[in-house]
Structure 1
Amino acid sequence: MLLRRSHHSPRRAPLLPVLHRLTMCSSAPASTSPPPASLAAVDYHCRTKHSLTAGYARGPGRLDWANQPNPFLRFSPSPVIPLPNPPPPVASRVHYPALFHSPPPPPQPLSLDSLSDLLFHSLALSAWKSAGASTWSLRVNPSSGNLHPTEAHVLFRDPEDPGRLVVSHYAPRDHLLEIRATVPATSDCSALLPPPATAVLALSSIFWREAWKYGERALRYCNHDAGHALAAVAIAAATLGWDARVLDGLSDQDLGRLVGVDKGCPAPPEGIPDKMVRGKTPWVERHHPDCAVLLFPAGSEPEVDYARMSQALRGFHGLEWVGNSNGLSKDHVVWDVIYRTAEAVKKHGPKPGERFSVSPWRMSAELSERLYKELTVQEVVRQRRSAVDMDGMHVMRKEEFYQILLHCLPSGEVSLGEQQGPQSALPFRVLPWDAEVHAALFIHRISGLPKGLYFLVRNEEHLDKLRRAMRQDFEWARPEGCPDGLPLYRLMEGDCQRLAMQISCLQDIASHGCFSLGMIARFEPVLHEKGEWMYPRLFWETGVLGQVLYLQAHAVGISATGIGCYFDDAVHEVLGLKDLEFQSLYHFTVGAPVVDRRILSLPAYPGPGIDA
Structure 2
Amino acid sequence: MWLHHSARLPHLPFPAPPRSPRSSPPFLFRPAASAMHSHPSTASPRDEDQKAKKNDEDKLRQAISYHNQTKHSLTSGYARGPGGLDWANQPNPFLRFLSSPQLPLLHLPPQPGDSPLYASLFSSSPPSSPQPISHSTLSRLLYDSLSLSAWKTTGLSTWSLRVNPSSGNLHPTEAHVLCPPLSSLSDHCPFLAHYSPKDHSLEILAQVPLDRSPLAADGSTLFVALCSIFWREAWKYGERAFRYCNHDVGHAIAAVAIAAAALGWDARLLDGLGHDELHRFLGLDAANRPPPSQLPDRPIRGRFPWIESQHPDCLLLLFPFGSQPSVDFQSLSSAISCFLSLSWTGTPNYLSKDHVYWDIIYRTAEAVKKPLNAVERFSVNPFHPSGLISEKLYKNYSVREIVRKRRSAVDMDGVHAMGRDTFFQILLHCLPSGQLDPGQKQGKQFALPFRTMTWDAEVHAALFVHRVKDLPQGLYFLVRNEDHLDWLKMAMRPEFEWVRPEGCPDGLPLYRLARGNCEELAKQLSCHQEIASDGCFSLGMVARFEPILREKNAWMYPRLFWETGVLGQVLYLEAHAIGISATGIGCYFDDDVHKVLGLKGMEFQSLYHFTIGGPVLDRRIMSLPAYPGPGIDA
TM class, shorter-length:
over 0.9
Quickly say closer, same or farther: Cα 1:329–1:480, change in 2 above 3 A: same
Q: TM-score, normalised by structure 1?
A: 0.94
In 2, Cα distance between equivalents of 1:22 and 1:238: 48
Aligned to 2:38: none
In 1, Cα distance between equivalents of 2:331 and 2:376: 14
In 2, Cα distance between equivalents of 1:259 and 1:74: 15
SS of 1:186's partner is: helix
Give the conservation status (yes or no) of the 8 Å contact 1:195–1:302: no
Quickly say closer, same or farther: Cα 1:25–1:368, change in 2 above 3 A: farther
- Kindly report which structure 2 residues correspond to 1:318-337, keeping only aligned pairs within 5 A, or say none: 318-337=341-360
Q: Which amino acid aligns with 1:127?
A: A
Tell me by how many angstroms 1:609 deviates.
2.1
In 1, Cα distance between equivalents of 2:69 and 2:237: 14
- Kindly report which structure 2 residues correspond to 1:377-392, keeping only aligned pairs within 5 A, or say none: 377-392=399-414
Are residues 1:63 and 2:85 paired?
yes
Tell me by how many angstroms 1:269 deviates.
1.9
CA displacement, residues 367-401 of structure 1 (integer Å, 9 cap, x when unaligned): 00000112111100000000000000111100100
Are residues 1:72 and 2:69 paired?
no
Aligned to 1:176: 201
Q: Which amino acid aligns with 1:245?
A: R
In 1, Cα distance between equivalents of 2:254 and 2:539: 19
In 2, Cα distance between equivalents of 1:12 and 1:406: 38
Tell me by how many angstroms 1:19 deviates.
2.9
SS of 1:362's partner is: coil
SS of 2:273's partner is: coil
Correspondence for 2:416 among 372, 391, 394: 394
Aligned to 1:368: 390
Aligned to 2:515: 493
Quickly say closer, same or farther: Cα 1:276–1:90, change in 2 above 3 A: farther
CA displacement, residues 526-562 of structure 1 (integer Å, 9 cap, x when unaligned): 1100000000000000000000000000000110000
Are residues 1:277 and 2:274 paired?
no
Give the conservation status (yes or no) of the 8 Å contact 2:215–2:221: no
In 2, Cα distance between equivalents of 1:169 and 1:369: 38
Aligned to 1:6: none
Quickly say closer, same or farther: Cα 1:77–1:434, change in 2 above 3 A: same
In 2, Cα distance between equivalents of 1:205 and 1:493: 41
Are residues 1:133 and 2:130 paired?
no
Aligned to 2:174: 151
Quickly say closer, same or farther: Cα 1:498–1:97, change in 2 above 3 A: same
Question: How many residues matched?
Answer: 591
Give the conservation status (yes or no) of the 8 Å contact 2:281–2:339: yes
Correspondence for 1:414 among 412, 416, 436: 436
Aligned to 1:30: none
Q: Which amino acid aligns with 1:425?
A: A
- Kindly report which structure 2 residues correspond to 1:216-227, keeping only aligned pairs within 5 A, or say none: 216-227=239-250
Are residues 1:304 and 2:301 paired?
no
Tell me by how many angstroms 1:195 deviates.
5.7
SS of 1:158's partner is: coil
In 1, Cα distance between equivalents of 2:216 and 2:285: 22
In 1, Cα distance between equivalents of 2:218 and 2:22: 48
- Alignment RMSD: 1.9
Which moves more between the two structures, 372-381 or 400-409?
372-381
Aligned to 1:20: 17
Identity of aligned residues (%): 64
Quickly say closer, same or farther: Cα 1:16–1:370, change in 2 above 3 A: same
Give the conservation status (yes or no) of the 8 Å contact 2:496–2:513: yes
CA displacement, residues 41-62 of structure 1 (integer Å, 9 cap, x when unaligned): 1000000000112200000000
Q: Which amino acid aligns with 1:408?
A: C
Aligned to 2:189: 164
Are residues 1:232 and 2:255 paired?
yes
Aligned to 1:3: none
Tell me by how many angstroms 1:14 deviates.
5.0
- Kindly report which structure 2 residues correspond to 1:449-528, keeping only aligned pairs within 5 A, or say none: 449-528=471-550
SS of 2:595's partner is: helix
In 1, Cα distance between equivalents of 2:113 and 2:181: 21
Quickly say closer, same or farther: Cα 1:12–1:349, change in 2 above 3 A: closer
